[in-house]
Amino acid sequence: MNQNYIFFIFVLLWFASCIDQIPVNVKEDDSEYLIVQAALKDNEDQQIVNITSNSPDATDFQANFPVNDALVYVLKDNSQRFDFRNVDDRGNYGQTLSLNTGSFYQLVIEYKGVRYESTHEELLEPVPVGELKTRVTNELVNNAAGNVVEREVINVLTDINLPVDEEIYLRYRIDGTYEYREIGTPSNLNPVTCYVDEIIDLNNLAIISNTGLEGGNIQNKLILTRAPDYRYSYNYCMHISQDRISKEAYEFWRLVENEFNRTGDIFEAPPGIIRGNINETGPSDIGCIGVFSVAAVSTKDFHILPSAVNNPRPRCQPFPAPPPTCTNCLLLPKSTLTKPECF
């Protein structure tokens, strides 16, 4: 829609418009932020908090610097304290902590004399994952040569009926495992099948809320779009994790989603700092960006069969010469010969 809107503006202005790239020459900006990732889950015992800081040098976009000298702890119901210790030198702090439904948790960080506190996050009751389904559609994308081409995509959708008497905020995380079948060759007389895990939701943001809706029935909510390829040529198992999160955490992800959808429209709200729910408690030159959440996780596995996605061609074919993984599928990262439960 946004691209079309810009196109409309082009037409309105007699095709006298264009988008091109210009060099960024932001003056040195001394704004420094702690960047905190702290998503605690009730289905994990080992919880991790990651703390880094941004690059204050605005002219290059270096990776964030790990912060390894902060004091990090979580308060449970304002009474129990769980100290998180460094587990590596990449800014990761860990602690064994089982979350309890109905309890409130607060993350506290002390760094360079400043105390940062999160909002109090309650672990809520999990919500069952709704019905999952796929729909194959076509979309326009730029190919490697920069031309607009049409391609087929798989849309993973959910229908979910949420209670109407309380506000519910959900975020989806999705992993996948696919079958990868070797082919028989003179050097591989006994081809086997591998099961390969992969991260498929890099930069995918799927969040749902029932606020502002008439009733709690949400239909055809898109949670993932993928281009089908050889991974879907046999059987594909998607692992859907549905986190029930707080409103504050949801707001953080909603603003991030908006940020990724910018088009430069002059009526677009200007960008700003997406702070999240962790704030410094007093004046400080170092702000904080990030989110602390405690999630009640529900999971569901979902199979996509080749027939649902127009039978993609397997990667391993006798001709032309197959890649080495077609005779030794364990060369694939995260592959195993052990059949996972979902298969």
Partner 1 sequence: MKTSFLLLFTLIFANPIYGQIEYEEAKQVLEKAFNVQIHCPKKFQPSQVALLENVSDHSLEENMDALLNNTTLVFFKYNEGHIIIGPENIIEGEIKEVSVKAENELLRENEPQFESYAVGDPQNIVKVGEHEIKLYIYDDNLKDGLIGVTAIVQESDQASITDEIGIVELSLGTGNYLIDINYLGYLSKTIQLNVFGPGRVEIALSKEAVTLEEVTISASAGQNSITREEIGLEALSAREIKRVPALMGEADVIKSLLLLPGVSTVGEGSSGINIRGGSVDQNLILQDGIPLFNASHVLGLFSLFNPDVVQSIELYKGSLPARFGGRVASVMDVELKEGDFTRWKGTGGLGLISSRLTFEGPIIPEKVSLLLGGRFSFSDYIFSSIRVAEIRESRANFYDGNAKLTFRLGSKGKLKLSAYNSYDRFKFDDNFDFNWRTTAGSANFNYVFNPGTSLIVKSSYSNYLSELIDPTVGSSFSYSNGISNFKLKPYLQLNDFLTLNAFAGLEINHYNIASGSIAPLTDESSQTEFDLDPQKGLEVAAFIDLTKNLSDYISLTAGLRYSQFRNLGPGEIKIYEEGEERIRENVQDIKTVGNNKVLKFFDAFEPRTSLKVITSPISSLKMSFNITNQYISQLFNTTSVTPVDLWYASNTYVDPIRAFNYSLGYFLSLDENKWENSLEVFYRDIKNTIEYKDIAELFLNPFVETELLNAIGRAYGVEFSIKKNIGRITGRLSYTYSRTESKTQGIFPRERINNNNWFPSNYDRPHDLSLISTLQITQRSYASVNFVYSSGRPVSAPTGNISVGNVRNIPVYGSRNNFRIPDYHRMDFSYTVEQSHKKDQKWRSSWTFSVYNLYGRRNAFSVFFTQKPFQSPVANRLSILARPIPSLTYNFNF
Instruction: Find the binding residues for partner 1 in span 146-175 (CB under 8 A).
Output: 173
Among positions 86, 155, 193, 279, the unique one binding partner 1 when judged by CB under 8 A: 279
Residue ranges in 47-76 that form contacts with partner 1 under rule CB under 8 A:
52, 54-56, 58, 60-62, 64
Among positions 128, 272, 320, 333, the unique one binding partner 1 when judged by CB under 8 A: 272
Specify whether the CB–CB gap between 64 and 55 falls below 8 A: yes
Residue ranges in 204-233 that form contacts with partner 1 under rule CB under 8 A:
204-205, 212-215, 219
Beta partners for residue 72, in sequence order: 84, 109
Among positions 85, 131, 259, 318, the unique one binding partner 1 when judged by CB under 8 A: 259
Quickly tell me which residue has 């298969």 as its tokens. 343
The secondary structure of 279-331 as a DSSP string is EESS--SEEEEEEEEEEEEEEEEEEE-GGGGT-PPPS--SSSPPPGGGT-GGG
- Residue (7 or 192) nearer to partner 1, CB: 7
| C-alpha 32 chain-centroid distance | 25
- Residue (55 or 86) nearer to partner 1, CB: 55
Any contact of residue 45 with partner 1 (CB under 8 A)? no
| 148 phi, psi to nearest 5 deg | -80, 125
Specify whether the CB–CB gap between 273 and 204 falls below 8 A: no
Stretch that binds partner 1, among 94-102, 130-138, 201-209, 301-309 (CB under 8 A): 201-209
First vs last C-alpha separation in the chain = 39
Any contact of residue 140 with partner 1 (CB under 8 A)? no
Q: How far is the CB of 16 from partner 1 (least distance, A)?
A: 4
- Residue (270 or 320) nearer to partner 1, CB: 270
